[in-house]
Amino acid sequence: MSSTSAVPANTSDAPVFARLALVGIGLIGSSIARVARQRGLAGHIAIATRTQETLDRARELALGDSYHLSAAQACEDADAVIVSVPVGASGAVARDIAPALKPGAIVSDVGSVKASVIAAMTPELPGHVHFVPAHPVAGTEHSGPDAGFAELFDNRWCILTPPPGTDAQAVERLAAFWRGCGSNIEVMEPEHHDLVLAITSHIPHLVAYSICGTAADMETVTKSEVIKFSAGGFRDFTRLAASDPVMWRDVCLNNREAILEMLSRFAEDISAMQRMIRWNDGEALHDMFTRTRAIRRGIIQAGQETDAVDFGRPHGTAPAAPEAEEPDSVAQE
Ligand code: NAP
């Protein structure tokens, strides 16, 4: 099942939530804080994170109205709680905050995997709250509170995966919040979400990790040569491969079935391509490359990417030639 919600953006002056608690204030949590503040989507923003260092940084950046090392304390009296931590930690966070949640509160998350997060959080949450899982399909390879920005969600999809029987008004309120953040809303079943994201996000990241790992292990091509000639295509993989290791470890472990299914299809397709090259099947290669080119055009037409040459990179000055010595590791953008 997949349907687009008809919830309008927050056009009134009233905030969508009088008190919003953000548990986790990295790239996603801090982007939510910034956009909620900028567009008046929340009255009071309570911020919680587990380390003093990140909390201090959130305070320095003035991301919220109150700052807490206890997630439960931040959630007291909150109308909505958005959990933005690595998916493997979501069950433990739900357990921590459960006693503090007020009746009727909306609890949501932003995890890149949905079925396992729902399985981990649902049993921990009290029956008197509305659990509306969500995934904003927007991000960068950077982490932490400095990495966020208010425009991150503009014209990006936010997928809601409410379990059957979830209060419709709660779903609509959360959708209104995300529309206020600039997102378009799609409602999906969690298992379907996990399959779609396996192919559109998880496999591309794994392929990038794998290619960068292969390059790092090369013996006959030096690392400095890989870096020097990276504009040939390699550097576009390095952006994905620079993503947060904890986040991606958790995504792999929590979306095992869908990722393994997509990886075996991918392995079959790579073998087919190997065969085309081995047997000099230029026609098959040309057909395939023509089909794939159309996918990029479709993404640009859908407004999810620009058609700026070379991903819009400026080409004013050539980079300085690297020093003769070989760097320790492959460069990441
Ligand atoms: P991030 O920048 O690394 O921030 C992670 C936040 O979670 C920090 O506040 C961190 O606290 C806290 N945290 C880390 N481990 C924790 C644990 N074991 N228990 C409790 N809190 C913990 O991460 P992010 O990129 O915002 O990702 C957060 C979530 O968004 C993930 O579930 C990810 O799947 C999802 N998501 C990410 C992207 C993306 O592109 N990055 C896109 C869409 C969705 P301290 O700093 O205090 O340790």
The per-residue pLDDT of the chain, averaged, comes to 91
- CA atoms of 239 and 177, how far apart (whole Å): 30
Going by CA atoms, what residue is nearest to atom 40 of ligand 1?
Answer: 139
pLDDT at 40: 98
Residue of 27, 67, 200 to mutate, ligand 1, most atoms within 8 A of C-beta: 27
Q: What's the pLDDT band for 314 if we cut at 50, 70, 90?
A: confident
CB contact at 8 A, 228 and 171: no
Determine the structural domain holding residue 315 and report its residue range.
1-333
CB contact at 8 A, 79 and 50: no
Identify which of 200, 253, 220, 235 has the alpha carbon closest to the alpha carbon of residue 91.
253
pTM of the model: 0.90
Asked if residue 167 has pLDDT above 70, the reply is yes
pLDDT at 308: 83
pLDDT at 10: 52
Q: What mean pLDDT do residues 295-317 have?
A: 81
Q: What's the pLDDT band for 316 if we cut at 50, 70, 90?
A: low
How many separate domains does the chain show?
Answer: 1
- Judge if the beta carbon of residue 143 lies within 6 A of ligand 1: yes
| Atom in ligand 1 nearest the alpha carbon of residue 92 | 19
Q: Summarize pLDDT for 36-79 with one digit per residue, the tens.
A: 999 999 999 999 999 999 999 999 999 999 999 999 999 999 99
Residue of 82, 183, 247, 259 to mutate, ligand 1, most atoms within 8 A of C-beta: 247
pLDDT at 260: 97
Q: What's the pLDDT band for 8 if we cut at 50, 70, 90?
A: very low
Q: What mean pLDDT do residues 271-287 have?
A: 98
Q: What mean pLDDT do residues 152-165 have?
A: 97
Q: Summarize pLDDT for 48-59 with one digit per residue, the tens.
A: 999 999 999 999
Kindly report which listed range (6-20, 83-97, 203-217) carries the lowest average pLDDT score. Answer: 6-20
Q: What mean pLDDT do residues 170-177 have?
A: 98
Please report, for the domain that includes residue 79, its CATH number. Answer: 3.40.50.720
- CA atoms of 311 and 315, how far apart (whole Å): 11
pLDDT at 312: 73
Asked if residue 328 has pLDDT above 50, the reply is no
pLDDT at 321: 47
pLDDT at 269: 96
Kindly report which listed range (11-15, 213-217, 229-233, 307-311) carries the lowest average pLDDT score. Answer: 11-15
What DSSP character marks residue 303? T
The 3-state DSSP class for residue 297 equals helix
- Judge if the beta carbon of residue 84 lies within 6 A of ligand 1: yes
Q: Summarize pLDDT for 230-277 with one digit per residue, the tens.
A: 988 999 999 999 999 999 999 999 999 999 999 999 999 999 999 999
- The DSSP annotation for 171-203 comes to HHHHHHHHHHTT-EEEEE-HHHHHHHHIIIIIH
pLDDT at 23: 99
Asked if residue 6 has pLDDT above 90, the reply is no
